[in-house]
Amino acid sequence: MKLQESSVDPATKKMKIEKKKKIKNEVEEVEEEETPVKIKKKKEKKSKDTEEPGKKLKKEKKVKIEEAETPSNVERKDKKEKKSKVNGAKAETNGLKSETNGEIISNGKQEEELSPQQKAGAFSNFRISPNTVKKLQKNGITYLFPVQSETFDIVYSGSDIITQARTGTGKTLAFSLPIIEKLQLDKSPPQRGRPPKVLVMAPTRELAKQVCEDFESYSSSLVVLCIYGGTPYGPQERVLRSGVDVIVGTPGRINDHIEKGNINLSQIKHVILDEVDNMLDMGFVEIVEQILAYAYKVHAIISERDEKPQTMLFTATLPPWVRKTANKYMREDVKTIDLIGKDFNKTSKTHLAIKCNHSERASILGDIVSVYSGNHGRAMIFCQTKKEADELAISPCIKVEGHVLHGDIAQEKRESVLKGFREGKYKVLITTDVAARGLDIPEVDIVIQCEPSKYADAYIHRSGRTGRAGRSGVCVCLYSAREEHSLRALEYKAGIKFKRTGPPTPEDIIKAASDDAYRALDDVPKETIQHFMEKAESLIEEKGACEALAAALAVISNNTSIERRSLLTAKKGYTTYICRTTVELFGPGYIWRFLEDNFPEVKDKAQSMTLLKDKMGCAFDIPTEFESTIGDEYEGRNGIVISKASEMPALIQTQNRPIGRSSWGGGGGGGSYRGRNGFNNYSNNRHNFRGSSGSSSGFGYKRKPMFSDHGGSKRTKFG
């Protein structure tokens, strides 16, 4: 036995001993791990301490067998874990987010991949301090919008810039954020009486207050002063004497303080003109130029060299004065950022145009608000004059609570109205141009303009209240027949296309109102519901559950009656019908004759006959009480079909010509038909119309005679 042991190679013996130790250590490590089996065992032990000893012993043996992992199993497990670590893409140190194969995983939940806009606007791409990032995220800003991301480095570097971007895209933060970050690099203690380094001019006090709030929200040590008219000078002068870093205000009040010697512009570093085009519209050109000339002159004298402050112009449109100002006050290497481009798409929204008379506008506005925003949205209505805004504010047609805002409203009241509108206390804001731009009013669902604006810029700024920051928006413009030309001119100048549509139908109104009422039911406390249970049960017994609830929703939504309105003119009490033919028409005379031969009682009441855009028929209105005469649809001979219109059809534009029976030359030319001037439907005298040679019906096309559906007459009839 000893002889055999001595014959074993000492090196081999040593390797075997080390291998045994290694296996023993690995087994001990496996036994010490918190494996899923051990965790399960602990839970079972806690929950089933009262089990019988025999059963408990059997389970312990089973668990030991499961725990017995061999060294080879452990080795495979280690390799698998290493492989999974290698395949994982990226992991942040905070353990909250990781990115695998291009997909974001947050707290174990898979999220959608970031859009290109979000990636380009990521805070990590810019020189933004962690403290500022926290403040941005606290306000719901998770990345920079395009206007902010494309201008940040330019503004931060100190270059002059002209930025043209749509209203509501975040231009205010585009200049305030990089300036804040740059000013906060100066860690020296602030001195009393220090002159401002930043001067921001805005056209309205509301916009000035918003800019001031942005500077205050995202800065930690800057003193920001907002100055505008309608407020006392004393408090503003005291702040100026103590020292400020940023001055934001309207040109008029800023100029007053300069003339009084209260503002020292010798140390000014940054000059920003926000909403430049609106300053021109409000007549601030001379005052703005006076302030700029003074600021740059003083700065040049103090610095003893021809060095101009950084100048930034932010605007939605680019009038000639902007270029003139750039050449005069800005550096030669001025940067230009155009986020609107040459596609003329200055507003990213849906634009609707509804034709109506001035007398019908108040009631139509009420219907539009009910359908597009209702009791749970926000709507803005723009009027041309303060008087119109005041009259509309007290109109019973606007069922949703709203308030008026214009230049005659006291500042305290203006701020109260805006605060209530932002918070959702008021659902409708009736205003003039004073609130067209710059105000921080989020989530406006619809903007309504009571008539086409004479200036494209004004329309762009007004419509900028909806569809903000990438949100979808709806803009509605009301117009009369006489304003058709103004509407087309606005389309061309503003680079938009209106969709001609009719006013909301009763079905649209009822659906929107019932949706509002349905949502309102969630706001009723259970304690209140108990008081109505007895009546509710009796109603259900009397009417049935479905009918009783439907009646209750009708009362809640204040829609207990249905009144139809014309889709062509928005007149109440009229229903729009469409008559389609199988041949192309060049005038509505053919349809008039068809109505005369088949519905004489309707023909005398029909109004607003208008040719369809494809010339394959006409649209017209009849009094609602005559609906039963035609019905929902009527099929005549020769493919003629009359049906009730559910939406506005595409119509031929009438070029401001009044829509009526005396306005069209029927068919191929003028002449008369039975004394009705302008409708040459049929004549045996070929000299009475300008038709084609040969057999003509007088409609501008050759056609064989047709016969009336009613028959019985030897006279040739059409229809």
Confidence (pLDDT) at 84: 43
* Segment 289-299, tens digit of pLDDT: 889 888 888 76
Confidence (pLDDT) at 318: 77
643 phi/psi in degrees, rounded to 5:
-140, 155
Q: Does the pLDDT at position 606 exceed 50?
A: yes
Report the distance separating Cα 69 and Cα 700, nearest Å. Answer: 96
Identity of the amino acid at 194: R
Q: Does the pLDDT at position 149 exceed 80?
A: yes
CATH code for position 489: 3.40.50.300
Is the residue at 98 inside a domain?
Answer: no
Name the residue with higher pLDDT: 342 or 433: 433
Q: Return the closest-CA partner of residue 218 out of 312, 139, 122.
A: 139
Report the distance separating Cα 670 and Cα 575, nearest Å. Answer: 29
Pair (136, 174) in one structural domain: yes
Per-residue pLDDT band for 283 (boundaries 50, 70, 90) equals confident
* Segment 674-684, tens digit of pLDDT: 333 333 333 33
Q: 258, exposed or middle or buried, with CB in 10 Å at 0-12, 13-18, 19+?
A: middle
Instruction: Residue 400: count other Cβ atoms within 10 Å of its Cβ.
Output: 18
Q: Which of 205-214, 271-280, 436-445, 535-544 shows the lowest per-residue confidence on average (mean pLDDT)?
A: 436-445
Pair (646, 530) in one structural domain: no
Q: Which residues, including other chains, have CB under 8 Å from residue 459's CB and lie 6 or more apart?
A: 449, 452, 453, 477, 490, 494
Pairing of strands 574-580, 270-274: unpaired
Is the residue at 418 inside a domain?
Answer: yes
Report the distance separating Cα 548 and Cα 543, nearest Å. Answer: 6
Q: Does the pLDDT at position 307 exceed 60?
A: yes
Q: How many independent structural domains does the chain possess?
A: 5
Indicate the SS3 state at residue 478.
Answer: strand
Name the residue with higher pLDDT: 14 or 387: 387
Per-residue pLDDT band for 321 (boundaries 50, 70, 90) equals confident
Q: Does the pLDDT at position 76 exceed 70?
A: no
Pair (297, 188) in one structural domain: yes
Name the residue with higher pLDDT: 263 or 658: 263
Name 651's bridge partners. Answer: 612
Confidence (pLDDT) at 452: 92
- Find out whether 392 and 398 touch, Cβ atoms under 8 Å: yes
Pair (363, 500) in one structural domain: yes
**Range picked from 4-8, 129-133, 406-410, 464-468 for highest mean pLDDT:** 129-133
Q: Which of 53-62, 88-97, 329-338 shows the lowest per-residue confidence on average (mean pLDDT)?
A: 88-97
Confidence (pLDDT) at 75: 47
Confidence (pLDDT) at 258: 93
* Segment 196-224, tens digit of pLDDT: 999 999 988 888 998 999 999 999 889 99
Average pLDDT value for the chain: 75
Q: Does the pLDDT at position 153 exceed 90?
A: yes
Pair (536, 667) in one structural domain: no
Is the whole-model pTM more than 0.85?
no
Domain that holds residue 335: 130-343
Confidence (pLDDT) at 60: 44
Confidence (pLDDT) at 206: 84
Query: In angstroms, what CA-CA distances link 83 with 80, 87, 109, 688?
Result: 5, 6, 22, 94
Confidence (pLDDT) at 178: 96
Confidence (pLDDT) at 161: 94
Pair (283, 262) in one structural domain: yes
Q: Does the pLDDT at position 702 exceed 70?
A: no
CATH code for position 655: 3.30.70.2280
Indicate the SS3 state at residue 243.
Answer: coil
Per-residue pLDDT band for 22 (boundaries 50, 70, 90) equals low
Q: Return the closest-CA partner of residue 513 out of 450, 562, 564.
A: 562
Is the residue at 84 inside a domain?
Answer: no
Q: Does the pLDDT at position 141 exceed 80?
A: yes
Is the residue at 561 inside a domain?
Answer: no
Q: Does the pLDDT at position 129 exceed 90?
A: yes
Q: Return the closest-CA partner of residue 300 out of 267, 333, 334, 261.
A: 267
Report the distance separating Cα 655 and Cα 666, nearest Å. Answer: 17
Confidence (pLDDT) at 77: 47
Confidence (pLDDT) at 434: 60
Pair (337, 391) in one structural domain: no
Confidence (pLDDT) at 676: 37
Q: Does the pLDDT at position 254 exceed 90?
A: yes
Confidence (pLDDT) at 328: 82
Name the residue with higher pLDDT: 477 or 557: 477
Q: Which of 313, 343, 373 is the last residue of a domain?
A: 343
**Range picked from 165-169, 333-337, 490-494 for highest mean pLDDT:** 333-337
Which structure tokens are listed for 417? 């109205």
Confidence (pLDDT) at 438: 55
Is the residue at 97 inside a domain?
Answer: no
The pLDDT of 649-660, averaged and rounded, is 61
Pair (315, 235) in one structural domain: yes
Confidence (pLDDT) at 705: 39
Q: Does the pLDDT at position 332 exceed 80?
A: yes
Do you know the residue count of the chain?
A: 719
The pLDDT of 479-494, averaged and rounded, is 89
Pair (478, 608) in one structural domain: no
Name the residue with higher pLDDT: 356 or 463: 356
* Segment 173-190, tens digit of pLDDT: 999 999 999 999 988 888
Q: Does the pLDDT at position 104 exceed 50?
A: no
Instruction: Residue 35: count other Cβ atoms within 10 Å of its Cβ.
Output: 14
The pLDDT of 338-347, averaged and rounded, is 57
Query: In angstroms, what CA-CA distances link 95 with 92, 99, 100, 347?
Result: 6, 11, 14, 42
Pair (137, 217) in one structural domain: yes
Which structure tokens are listed for 714? 């030897």
Name the residue with higher pLDDT: 104 or 384: 384
Q: Does the pLDDT at position 412 exceed 60?
A: yes
Is the residue at 86 inside a domain?
Answer: no
Q: Which of 16-20, 42-46, 79-83, 384-388 shows the lowest per-residue confidence on average (mean pLDDT)?
A: 79-83
Q: Does the pLDDT at position 424 exceed 70?
A: yes
Pair (364, 299) in one structural domain: no
Of all residues in the chain, the percent with pLDDT exceeding 90 is: 24
**Range picked from 240-254, 308-322, 363-377 for highest mean pLDDT:** 240-254
717 phi/psi in degrees, rounded to 5:
-130, 165
Q: Which of 21, 36, 68 is the last residue of a domain?
A: 68
Name the residue with higher pLDDT: 485 or 529: 485
Q: Does the pLDDT at position 688 exceed 60?
A: no
3-state secondary structure 610-673: EEECCCCEEEEEEEHHHHHHHCCEEECHHHCEEEECCCCCCECCCCCCCCCCCCCCCCCCCCEE
Per-residue pLDDT band for 588 (boundaries 50, 70, 90) equals confident
Is the residue at 318 inside a domain?
Answer: yes
Indicate the SS3 state at residue 382.
Answer: strand
Pair (37, 153) in one structural domain: no
Q: Does the pLDDT at position 384 exceed 60?
A: yes
Per-residue pLDDT band for 126 (boundaries 50, 70, 90) equals very high
Name the residue with higher pLDDT: 717 or 535: 535
Is the residue at 428 inside a domain?
Answer: yes
Confidence (pLDDT) at 304: 55
Name the residue with higher pLDDT: 473 or 605: 605
Per-residue pLDDT band for 26 (boundaries 50, 70, 90) equals low
